[in-house]
């Protein structure tokens, strides 16, 4: 009984984990499909991508945004960006290359090139030297997904893809082995049950045969006894008749 309860609990936990993992994968899949579709549509219309996903690789925005957090950046009209908003932008400093920077806006002002901003990382003691022009702003941060970037870096590592494929495959194999073991156990029980049922039926037939045989034997004995009694009765009648005849003959 304990083993049965333990197996049911283990099976329930495995199913719960599987459903949770499946739900998470479905949500991520739907989000990625929407993300790709929206950006592709914008690019086909000659517009910049309205959505962006960026992994934070520096601690300049801690504690609000940590290293390996992923930020969802949504395109926004520069005129509507206010001081205090967190923005992602491309730096003109060649040191950063094409890597976007995500910092908080601390100043907004007009220049000959239009609206510009000054930014600073929450963890940095000073304001950034660079003046960020509106054309270099990607958008504002709308959502922070904690530590999702670790998966990205893990998959980018040498053994990441191998482990990412191996672990689900191993999980599926283990789950199938458990199901196979359960199926074999059920088949074994069914086989034992069939053997027991066949034995019971065979014993029942043997018992019925013995009862019929005993009944026939009793009937045979009874018939023999009746036959013997009838013969004796006939013999007695026959003797009585002969005796009566002899008496009549002697009288005359």
Angstrom distance (rounded) from CA 51 to CA 39: 7
Q: Which residues pair with 105 in a beta bridge?
A: 119
Q: Which regions of the chain are under pLDDT 70?
A: 1-7, 94, 96, 156, 158, 160-161, 164, 213-227, 229-252
Q: Pinpoint the alpha helices (H) of the chain.
A: 2-44, 148-156, 160-251
What pLDDT does 251 receive?
45
Nearest to 113 by CA among 133, 95, 96, 94: 133
How does pLDDT run across 26-65, given as a tens digit for each residue?
Answer: 787 787 788 778 778 877 877 777 788 888 989 999 999 9
**Does the CA dihedral 22-23-25-29 come out positive or negative?**
positive
What pLDDT does 244 receive?
57
What pLDDT does 133 receive?
92
Architecture of the domain whose range is 50-156: Ribbon (2.10)
What pLDDT does 86 receive?
96
Cα 47 off chain centre by:
41
Question: In this structure, are residues 85 and 73 in contact, taking their beta carbons and an 8 Å threshold?
Answer: no
Pairing of strands 137-145, 114-120: unpaired
Q: 118 — alpha (psi -120 to 50), left (phi > 0) or beta?
A: beta
Question: In this structure, are residues 65 and 56 in contact, taking their beta carbons and an 8 Å threshold?
Answer: yes
Angstrom distance (rounded) from CA 127 to CA 83: 13
Question: In this structure, are residues 70 and 57 in contact, taking their beta carbons and an 8 Å threshold?
Answer: no
Which run of H or of E encompasses 58?
Answer: none
Question: How many CB atoms are located within 10 Å of the residue 128 CB?
Answer: 18
What pLDDT does 1 receive?
45
How does pLDDT run across 228-241, given as a tens digit for each residue?
Answer: 766 666 666 656 66
Annotated domain spans of the chain:
1-46, 50-156, 159-244
Angstrom distance (rounded) from CA 173 to CA 163: 15
- Farthest-apart Cα atoms in the chain, separation: 176
């Amino acid at each position: 009984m304990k083993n049965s309860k333990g197996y049911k609990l283990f099976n329930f936990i495995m199913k719960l984990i599987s459903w949770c993992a499946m739900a998470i994968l479905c949500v991520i899949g739907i989000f990625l499909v929407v993300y790709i579709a929206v950006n592709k549509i914008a690019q086909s219309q000659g517009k910049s991508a309205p959505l962006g996903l960026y992994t934070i690789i520096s601690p300049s925005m801690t504690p609000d945004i940590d290293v390996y957090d992923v930020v969802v950046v949504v395109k926004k009209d520069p005129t509507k960006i206010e001081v205090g908003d967190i923005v992602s932008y491309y730096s003109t400093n060649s040191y950063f290359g094409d890597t976007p920077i995500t910092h908080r806006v601390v100043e907004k002002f007009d220049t000959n090139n239009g609206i510009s901003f000054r930014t600073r990382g929450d963890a940095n003691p000073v304001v950034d030297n660079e003046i960020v022009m509106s054309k270099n702003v990607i958008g504002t941060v709308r959502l922070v997904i904690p530590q999702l970037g670790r998966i990205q870096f893990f998959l980018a590592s040498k053994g990441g893809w191998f482990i990412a494929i191996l672990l689900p495959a191993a999980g599926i194999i283990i789950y199938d082995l458990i199901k196979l073991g359960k199926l074999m156990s059920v088949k074994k029980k069914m086989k034992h049950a069939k053997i027991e049922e066949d034995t019971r039926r065979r014993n029942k037939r043997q018992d019925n045969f013995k009862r019929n045989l005993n009944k026939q034997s009793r009937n045979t004995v009874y018939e023999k006894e009746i036959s013997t009694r009838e013969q004796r009765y006939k013999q007695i009648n026959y003797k009585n008749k002969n005796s009566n005849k002899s008496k009549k003959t002697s009288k005359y």
